[in-house]
Structure 1
Amino acid sequence: MKVAVIVKAEIKNSNIYTTHRSKISYHTDNLFLSEADKNSIEYALGLIRENGGEIDVYTFEKGIVAERILHEALSMGANRAIKFSGVDIYDPLQANIISNQFLNYVRKQGNYDLILTGENEETDNILARIAYGLGYNYYDYVIKIDNSFNYATALEK
């Protein structure tokens, strides 16, 4: 089984960054994977333990932010960590660029059996484009999933 996990940093905590005028400064000592992304990696690790295979972790974050969270993902047990950079993923006008870059890369690597993400409200547009481009089903707001791929979403509640 081949699983990809798309991760990002936890930026909702006010200890992670400060703003001054139009500049944002990150406090790298406080940058970690989001809890939802940690859960996605843990789920992928469980699948790999049962079925064999490997986990690739991707991020669209930049600089030290990307390096920090990818190192954390590798320490959790991911096999490979890949950073896509050069585009601002939070700019909706650039969503097509980053999704096409990711699609081209994934097509060259071979398709995945499953692609997981954590909580990605800011980048849902990119994730939906990726799923459509690969011909995958796209499920968001999943709050529960088991090893047989039965799931529940927050939308069902």
Structure 2
Amino acid sequence: MDIEYGNGKNMLYRYLSPSVMKKKHIDHPDPLFDELTYGEGGNFSSMVRQNVLPGSHIFFHTTIGGQRYITAHYFVSKIMEGFDARQDKDTRATYRNVHIHPENFEEWWPSYDVNLEKETDSNDIVIFGDKKSLLGNLRIHYLLIKNSLKN
């Protein structure tokens, strides 16, 4: 699939590294860098809907040694409403993301049943990265210098 740059905005997303989550006893299963998925719910999902389009870039950053680093990158290939992703058999067969398989994450989605979900109950969104056009999980982390960021 050849993706053209859209009019979407790029996104800088902060996340906790797995080592920090382990220290804080947090088990947050998203983003999944190996499959290039990221899901979001609540108010932030509205921001994604309004600003991110196929062709947008998402840069993930976290704190390492007291400084912020960009550690991963997705080139957005597709965005799906969470409800649609959970109802789509091909998507469910291909991806493991918590927003696609909430039944596997009881602590985040208690008593979830894909057959009982209504579209109006869902407000989450799933972003998919393009495997051909990514930087992925970066081997070399890039120091994030706040003054160097431009609109």
Asked if these proteins are the same fold (TM beyond 0.5), I'd say no
The structure in which a higher percent of residues are helix is 1
TM-score (norm 2): 0.31
The structure in which a higher percent of residues are strand is 2
TM-score (norm 1): 0.30
